[in-house]
Structures are given as structure tokens and as C-alpha cells.
């Protein structure tokens, strides 16, 4: 029997077969690795698996809040305005003239009553001197009239009157003799007429002397005094007018403040009522804020409010209301006077903001925005917990709501919710309708 009977020569694997063999060995190694991992440990440790199942069956703790019905709400609204100095004036001369000097510059602080600028007053001063001279002369005449005639003048008038009396008596006696002679035919008609005319002239001179004496003894007439008094007053008024014009040629600060603009320089012709300097009061700032008429009406003067200026809060006291609407914003402007220390870091022209709370008749339930979920047909939903029939824990129910008003991190809503309902306020993404839950505070 041959030695080769029953001997099988070894079979050589092809490359494809070798590749499949390597793949099978790799799969076996992977299964072995999984067998040593958590999947095998889960089945190897039955106690741990039971605990995981028990934890899964426990009610999920959730944060809830009880909602309460309100029939009115208090809302806070913000309004913006502008900071202004309480007093700000563009100062100019009342009368035209040439600017002689300006004593301040932009940025200078001035006190009340300080002279800021002056006009050239040489012409006015010359008029003032001439008027003063005429006034002095008129007053002298007035004093003389008030004093009346001097005694020497009265005595002279008395002597004139006595002389006129003696002359009249002489001519009267002469006429009497001439008349008798004329009747006897001793003298002619011409001689008699001369005697008669002389007597009449002497009588007239006597009457004139008597009137002059009586006038001097009576003093100055009222009409003379009144006329001269009017002349004195007229000159006094002219002098006062020039004094006022000279005073108005000096531009004086009406209040303490800072010069923020200088429009003209010395040598310039300043027409009347043209601004020369802008003066802004320091230390007294006001917030001018436009409010709806309803809010402005309810706002009481004297109340204190928080004014937000450039991120900082300042106290402002409601001081006045402008009794007309702003034509652009249709609001009523309310003035809030800032406390004095605000002027340390607040300047005129800055923007400001105020928040005012008001009560509105609007009913519903306040719900945190974290409790809201999108619903259908434009509605929103909240998750309400209701007692489980088993008496153990609570179940989750979905309720539709309609939002009335949004206020920061909460909304006012109505819908299929009731007073006293407990809603889940956060973590609603991990809770589903019908799920078994337990409030975290329980």
C-alpha cells in the first residue's frame, strides 16, 4: 500500500479569503470589547439596574407658582427730555452804539451785577453837561420867583408911587385954578386944555405906580411860577433820560452764570436788541420732559422723582407745568428741578429719562415669560399641574392663554386658566403633557 494513501496536502488560502478572515477576527474582537463594557456590566450588576428603573419611575420635580387674578395693573413707562439751565439769556444793548470794551470771554464765570461790556458814551456825556447847565439856570430863575420881589425894589416902587401922587395933586390944583380963570375969560381955551391934559396924565401915572406897587407887594403870580416850574421839570426829564441812556450803555449780568458765547468784539457797531453775549446760569438745572396730558395732569408739583442722566440717577422735584402742548410731540412739558449737586457732572443740553408708574384698568393673570410655550393659531400655552387620581403627585396639563400685555420678564394673560392654578415656571422643555411631577417645594 502506498505511503501517500490518506494524506491530504495543505490548502493555500487566497488573498480574498485572507481578507475575509481578518475582518471576521476584527468583528470578534469588537464584540469581546463590548462584552467587557457598560452593556455587560448592566446585565452583570442587577442591583444597579433596578435602582435606575426606580429612579425613572419617580415623579419629576418641577418649580411651580400659583397664579392670581388681578383687575388692574401698575405699569411703568419711560419718557425722555432735555436738561436746561433754569435761566439762559442772550444779552444785548437796548440802545445802538459803538462797543467800547468787552470785559469777559467765553468760559468766564460772572457774578450778578457784574459789568460785561460798555458802549462809547462821549456824545451822551456832552449832552448831559449842556442839559445840566440849562437846568441850573432854570432852577435859579425859579428860586428868584419863589422868593418874590426884593425889599429895595418895593421901596423904589413906593417912592415912584408917592412922586406920582404929588405930581397928580399939583396938576389937579393947577387945573382948578385954570378952570376958574377960563370961566372968567382970563385965559384961552388952549391954556385950559393943557392944564386939563396934564392933570389926566398925572392921574394915569399915579394909577400905574399904584398897580406896580400892589404887584410887588403881592409877590410872584401863580402863572409865572407854574410856567417856570414846567420848564424846570422838562430839563430835569431830559437830564434823567441822558442818565438812563448812559446806564443802558453798560451791559450788566442779570444773574450769576457762565459766558458761553461772545458774538461781537470791541469796535463793532451794536444795533439795538442784537445779542452780544450769551449767559447761562450755573448751579440751577432743570429737566424738561414731555408727558402725555393724562400723566402730566395726575403728576403733583413738589413730588420727587428719579431722573436718569448719562447712566446716573439724580433726584428731580416737579416744579412747574407748561400750560400748552408741544406742537411736535403733542405732549405737555413738565419741569423737574435738579438738586444743586447735579451741576457738578451734568451740563445743559444733555438728554435725560424718567420712569413714571400709573394704574391701568386691565384684568388677567401675571405669568412669567419662562413659563410660556408656543401654541396653535397664535395662542400661547402654559403647563398646569393637577392632582393625580392615585393621590400620589401631580400630572401635567396644557392650557391655552391669550397675552394682553408684555412687561419685561412677565406677561398679563387670560385663557383657560383659573385663579389659584399652579403653573410650571421654568424647565418646560423637559416636561410633557400627562407627565407625573411633584412640586420641588413639596
- CA 438 → CA 21, 133, 395, 423, distances in Å? 57, 109, 8, 12
Q: b/e string for 393-408 if b means 16 or more Cβ within 10 A?
A: bbbbeebebebeeeee
> Tens digits of per-residue pLDDT, 392-428?
789 999 999 998 888 778 888 998 899 999 999 988 8
Task: Write out pLDDT tens, residues 56-108.
Answer: 467 889 999 999 888 887 777 899 999 999 888 999 998 899 999 999 999 89
Residue ranges covered by each domain of the chain = 60-72+362-439, 89-121+250-280, 127-242, 283-358
Tens-digit pLDDT profile for residues 114-138: 999 999 999 899 999 999 999 898 8
Q: Any residues with CB less than 8 A from the CB of 270 and at least 6 apart, and which? A: 92, 93, 96, 97, 98, 99, 119, 264, 276
**Given a cut of 70, is residue 44 above it in pLDDT?**
no
* Domain 283-358 CATH (choose: 2.40.30, 1.25.40, 1.10.1760, 2.60.40): 2.40.30
Domain range 89-121+250-280, its CATH number among 3.30.420.300, 3.40.50.720, 2.40.50.100, 3.30.70.141: 2.40.50.100
Retrieve residue 72's grid coordinates: 388692574
Average pLDDT on 249-272 reads 91
Q: What is the DSSP string of 74-98?
A: EEEEEEEEEEEES-EEEEE-SS-EE
Amino acid at each position: 500500500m502506498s505511503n501517500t494513501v490518506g494524506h491530504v496536502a495543505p490548502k493555500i488560502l487566497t488573498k480574498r479569503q485572507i481578507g475575509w478572515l481578518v475582518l471576521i477576527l476584527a468583528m470578534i474582537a469588537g464584540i469581546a470589547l463590548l462584552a467587557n463594557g457598560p452593556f455587560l456590566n448592566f446585565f452583570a450588576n442587577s442591583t444597579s439596574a433596578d435602582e435606575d428603573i426606580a429612579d425613572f419611575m419617580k415623579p419629576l420635580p418641577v418649580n411651580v407658582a400659583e397664579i392670581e387674578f388681578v383687575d388692574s395693573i401698575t405699569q411703568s413707562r419711560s419718557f425722555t427730555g432735555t436738561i436746561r439751565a433754569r435761566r439762559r439769556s442772550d444779552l444785548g444793548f437796548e440802545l445802538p452804539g459803538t462797543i467800547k470794551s468787552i470785559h469777559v470771554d467765553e468760559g468766564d464765570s460772572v457774578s450778578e451785577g457784574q459789568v460785561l461790556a460798555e458802549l462809547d458814551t462821549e456824545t451822551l456825556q456832552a449832552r448831559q453837561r449842556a442839559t445840566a447847565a440849562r437846568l441850573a439856570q432854570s432852577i435859579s430863575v425859579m428860586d428868584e420867583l419863589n422868593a418874590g420881589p426884593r425889599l429895595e425894589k418895593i421901596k423904589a416902587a413906593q417912592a415912584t408911587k408917592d412922586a406920582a401922587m404929588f405930581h397928580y395933586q399939583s396938576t389937579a390944583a393947577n387945573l382948578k385954578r385954570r378952570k376958574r380963570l377960563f370961566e372968567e375969560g382970563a385965559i384961552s381955551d388952549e391954556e385950559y386944555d393943557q392944564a386939563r391934559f396934564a392933570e389926566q396924565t398925572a392921574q394915569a401915572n399915579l394909577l400905574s405906580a399904584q398897580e406896580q406897587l400892589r404887584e410887588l407887594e403881592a409877590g410872584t403870580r401863580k402863572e409865572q411860577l407854574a410856567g417856570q416850574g414846567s420848564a424846570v421839570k422838562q430839563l430835569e426829564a431830559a437830564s434823567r433820560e441822558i442818565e438812563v441812556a448812559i446806564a443802558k450803555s453798560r451791559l450788566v449780568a442779570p444773574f450769576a452764570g457762565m459766558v458761553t458765547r461772545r458774538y461781537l468784539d470791541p469796535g463793532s457797531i451794536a444795533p439795538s436788541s442784537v445779542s452780544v453775549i450769551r449767559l447761562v446760569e450755573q448751579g440751577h438745572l432743570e429737566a424738561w420732559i414731555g408727558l402725555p396730558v393724562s400723566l402730566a395732569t395726575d403728576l403733583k408739583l413738589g413730588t420727587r422723582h428719579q431722573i436718569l442722566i448719562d447712566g446716573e440717577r439724580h433726584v428731580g422735584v416737579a416744579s412747574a407745568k407748561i400750560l400748552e402742548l408741544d406742537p411736535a410731540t403733542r405732549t405737555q412739558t413738565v419741569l423737574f428741578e435738579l438738586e444743586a449737586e447735579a451741576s457738578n457732572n451734568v451740563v445743559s443740553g444733555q438728554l435725560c429719562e424718567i420712569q413714571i408708574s400709573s394704574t391701568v384698568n386691565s384684568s388677567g393673570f401675571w405669568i412669567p415669560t419662562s413659563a410660556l410655550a408656543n401654541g396653535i393659531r397664535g395662542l400661547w400655552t402654559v403647563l398646569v399641574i393637577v392632582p393625580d387620581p392615585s393621590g400620589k403627585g401631580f400630572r401635567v396639563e396644557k392650557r391655552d392663554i391669550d397675552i394682553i400685555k408684555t412687561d419685561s420678564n412677565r406677561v398679563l394673560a387670560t385663557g383657560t386658566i383659573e385663579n389659584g392654578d399652579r403653573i410650571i415656571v421654568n424647565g418646560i422643555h423637559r416636561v410633557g403633557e400627562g407627565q407625573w411631577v411633584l412640586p420641588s417645594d413639596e
